[in-house]
Structure 1
Amino acid sequence: MSPLSRPRAGRRTIAGAVLVLGLGAAALAPVQTATSAPVPAPVDGVYDVLGKTWGVTPAQAKARLDAEHRLASALESAQKATQKAAQQATPKAAQSASPELDGAFFNSARELVVNVHSAEAAEVARDHGLTPRTVARGEKALTKLQKQVEALATASGSTQVQSIGTDLPTDRVQVVLQPGRQSAKTVALVNRLKAVPGVDVSTNTTTLTMTYDVIGGQIMDLVPGTNCSLGYSGTRNGNNVMLSAGHCVEGNPMVQNRYGQRLGVGIASRFRTGSPSVDMGLMDIDSTNVGRGYIDNRNGQTTRVTGSSKAPVGSTICKAGNTTGWTCGNITNYNLTVNYGGAGGSITRTSGLARSTVCTEGGDSGGAYISGTIAQGMTSGGPNDGHDCGWNQGGNATGSYSFYQPVVDAASYYGVTLTLG
């Protein structure tokens, strides 16, 4: 696969990146040092910003998000019901038509559409207020197809693949190439992929990159010399920690806040420059500091963290970061594999990422993504195309996209319980 630019550092840009890793500031639950200013009481500051974006009142914005979350909860109930039915089905019936749901996403009408392969599954979906559709593949088949495509890309020797991932709304696997003239290996790969049913190939107009820069959404100053944004505070074995983008804490750097006060130190990362990676990591918060159960959304308010999830594709999501503040959009994909390019021509294949239409820039890396008050993930990277998100533009920072590490996966892997507000 071809390289995406690595995340951009807040103070220096990593050259040669196709995808940008970690965008500067992360939106984590604020961490307070003994000498820092008091942290304001948490309020749900997400709704006024979204209301301005959508042209509605904060109360109406809250109603829309609440409706999304009710449907997401209904989806969980429907999945349990269909899974139970699948366990009780006879082997012959299970082979003919699966009674389970097979992926879900919000459409433009804000309906939660679920993929089904049987009349029984469709009935369960409708009973839970969901919108069923029958598809040729579905999430499980797409996941298998994605693995096949990734194997073909690896075997081809092409270095021009930016990303490979499933797209639930189209029921297809999307392969994106980096811009520029295609090599002979890439041409051969494209010809082979075009013959695979359910696969689309397109070429991006820009490269990708990563970024670096601990109060949630505030600067994560790394020593030496780079910066990210803070992610989500939590506990592990009784110890205060913070979940972050792995590339932010690669090498276990010491972490400071904007005043130069020490917050903690990186203790774990699954990101290894130049090697197959997952962009999740962990910072130990010093005993003199406190991890909070809310994030600083950079507009004078904070947003409580009341839980965590992988919201359905199409869900509204916002992120707080040190470089661009509060920007919003929608979830578009899960389980993407992207290639981040770095200094010296290194390529870091990074798997397990989600993609959204949220605008980010260098220094936002590690920052917190949240849907209402439900934690979603930490900024990983985005396009290296010189775009300008502006500051605190909410959903008006359009025309870009970003990748993030789902917080549910990181918390599960490291055994972290998120701190709630």
Structure 2
Amino acid sequence: MRKSVARRAAVKAAVIGSTVLLTPLFGATAATAAPAPEQLRAEDLPAELVQALSRDLNMTPTEYLDRAARAQQLQTYAAEFRAERPDVFAGAWMTPEGKPTVAVTSPDAARVASDDGYTTRLAPVSAAALETSLTQMNQWVAAQPRDISQLINSIAIDFLNSQLIVNVANTPLAHVLNLPTLIANIKVVLSPEGGGPVEHRPMGGDTYISAPGSLDDAELKAVDVCSFGFNSVDSAGNALNISAGHCNPNIDKGDEKASVYGPNIRNIPASPQLGTFVQSELGGPSTLDYSVIQLNERAVGAGMDQPSVRGANGTTLTITGTADPVVGAPVCKSGQSSTFTCGFVVADRVETQLFTTEGDAKVVRGFASSACTLGGDSGGAIVSGTLALGITSGSNAADAPDCEKANIALAQYGGTATLGIPIRGILAHADSSSGGGIGSGISVRTRPNAG
């Protein structure tokens, strides 16, 4: 079976690190617009995650948890501020020093945010205007022939500089691409050409494999390798897991159901079944990339009804709640290929086109982070602090053999970038589209911190 671009997790997420230079520095006093989300204690973080924080972010566990909590406080305040002043709100983010910042288009609005304890910035364009430009740009891309539209890797809103970031392939045709001049505030970023296919090797931990039919099928040429995301449960008590939609080999085919297996690397056909895809979404009106896997008794018996995630063979991290992406917030992700890696949210809204094996274009919307993601990490959990933030859709390093080589190869293009799908958006859509069946009332399994 030939793998599609999406299934290989070769999503070219926006490489916008050059426009949002984030460094792990602290020292700011956070505004207190809302109570801090519950987190584990610093000493309760797994050793492997602590190592990733030090290696990737130069942060201590306490700094990581503190900044993640303050980012969620900012998100709550910004949502309320925008609801009250939609015409002047221009974005919100954490600065490199960890200061929560609110951008507005009027001095009066700036005084309000400043009085509430936030750093402010006057911006020339409101968030609503930038989002309108994003919609217009996507409409223009959708109207182009495929040989033109596939040159557009992704489009992101850069609130820090009041502009859209259009990431295009670094090819001769892209160099003469005539972008629409009526859409203001566009910056073009060139990305490297994609590499060859990745040879995925099943690993232990959070790995799963899937195929369109039986693993015993003599015609089966390959299996898809992805990562489990967050263990979840619906109102009927069904044990579920949230992963990536493009990991379902039967998406858009019949009832879309396909089995999920724990890989037996010595004998793939003998791999034990752990569940079944019961709901999958890739693009469409929702612009999401997610799947809901119904876990069987074997999976539940192995502990997949617990609120924890892990990277490959690493130690586990307990999930204590959910969160929204905020620019500048620290994040870490788990996955079967790259284990725990960490970075920052560099854009809270990114849209990219995926092409299926049938040639259909799918627009997917999510957030971008600077964490390294490799092929096979698709569907893996992304956390901020100990809060579920989203699942991995893809990255610009999917074809790299390891994160060290990816960081070197992509340094000239702004570094590694990962496209994540927000968990709260997934939960809302999965619930509303369940029809009252499996997935109705779905929520991430959590264990609130009682300490």
User: TM-score, structure 1 length as denominator?
Assistant: 0.76
Match 2:189 to one of 202, 206, 223: 202
- Bigger share in strand: 1
Aligned residue number for residue 65 of structure 2: 65
- Percentage of identical aligned residues: 22
1:156 corresponding residue in structure 2: 144
Partner residue, 2:267: none
In structure 1, the partner of 2:296 is 286
Counterpart secondary structure, 1:144: helix
Alpha-carbon contact 2:169-2:193 (below 8 Å) kept = yes
Give the corresponding residue for 1:181: 172
What pairs with 1:216-235 in structure 2 (closer than 5 Å)?
A: 218-223=206-211, 224=215, 225-235=223-233
**Residues 20-419 of structure 1: pairs in structure 2 closer than 5 A:** 43-45=44-46, 46-55=49-58, 60-77=60-77, 79-80=79-80, 83-84=83-84, 86=85, 98=88, 101-157=89-145, 158-159=148-149, 160-182=151-173, 187=176, 189-190=178-179, 192-193=180-181, 196-207=183-194, 218-223=206-211, 224=215, 225-238=223-236, 239-251=238-250, 252-259=257-264, 260-271=271-282, 278-288=288-298, 289=300, 290-298=304-312, 300-343=314-357, 346-383=359-396, 386-390=399-403, 399-415=415-431, 416-419=442-445
- Tell me the SS of whatever aligns to 1:132: strand
SS at structure 2 position matched to 1:133: strand
> For each residue in 1:133-181, what CA deviation from the matched residue of structure 2 results, as whole angstroms up to 9, or x when unmatched?
1111132211111001111222233232111221111110111212222
Q: Secondary structure of 1:258's match?
A: coil
- The CA distance in 2 between the partners of 1:209 and 1:362, in whole Å, is 12
Checking the alignment, whether the CA contact within 8 Å between 1:241 and 1:283 is kept in structure 2 is: yes
CA 112–277 in structure 1, closer or farther in 2 if over 3 Å, else same:
closer
Contact map agreement 2:45 2:317 (CA 8 A) in 1? yes
Matched-pair contact (CA < 8 Å) for 2:204–2:312: no
Question: 1:18, CA displacement in angstroms?
Answer: 7.0
Query: 1:94-147, CA deviations, whole angstroms, 9 ceiling, x for partnerless residues?
Result: 8xx64xx43211222222221113334323322443211111113221111100
User: Retained in 2: the 8 A contact 1:156–1:189?
Assistant: no
Deviation at 1:228, TM superposition (A): 0.3
CA deviation string 1:286-333 (max 9, x = no partner): 145142111113463211111112131121111100011111111112
1:69 aligned partner, one-letter code: A
Query: Structure 1's 71 and 6: CA in aligned 2 closer, same or farther, altered over 3 A?
Result: closer
What TM-score do the two structures reach when normalised by structure 2? 0.72
Moved more, 198-207 or 371-380: 198-207
Cα distance change on mapping 1:248 and 1:407 into 2, 3 Å: same
User: Are the aligned partners of 1:213 and 1:229 in contact in 2 as well (CA < 8 Å)?
Assistant: no
CA shift digits 1:43-73 (9 cap, x unpaired): 42233431344445xxx43234313412431
Which secondary structure state, in structure 2, belongs to the residue aligned with residue 376 of structure 1? strand
Higher RCO (CA 8 Å, separation ≥ 6 residues): 1
Assess, with a 3 A threshold, how the Cα gap between structure 1 residues 215 and 65 changes in structure 2: closer, same or farther. farther
The SS at the match of 1:177 is strand
CA-atom RMSD in angstroms: 3.5
- Closer, same or farther in 2 for the Cα pair 1:410/1:369, shift >3 Å? same
Distance 1:120 1:276, change over 3 A: closer
Change (3 A) 1:156 1:74: closer
Counterpart AA for 1:147: T
Encode CA deviations 1:373-407: one digit per residue, 9 max, x unaligned.
Answer: 0111111112267434348x99xx97311212111
Q: Deviations over 1:192-249 (max 9, x none)?
A: 34x5321112321223899889999610121352110001111123222111111112
CA 1:164–1:218 in structure 2 vs 1: closer, same or farther (change >3 Å)?
same
The verdict on how the C-alpha distance between 1:384 and 1:316 changes in structure 2, with shifts beyond 3 A counting, is closer
Q: Secondary structure at the match of 2:396?
A: strand
The structural deviation recorded for 1:355 is: 1.3
What amino acid is aligned across from residue 193 of structure 2 in structure 1? T
Asked if 2 retains the 8 angstrom alpha-carbon contact of 1:304 and 1:373, the reply is yes
Distance 1:419 1:357, change over 3 A: same
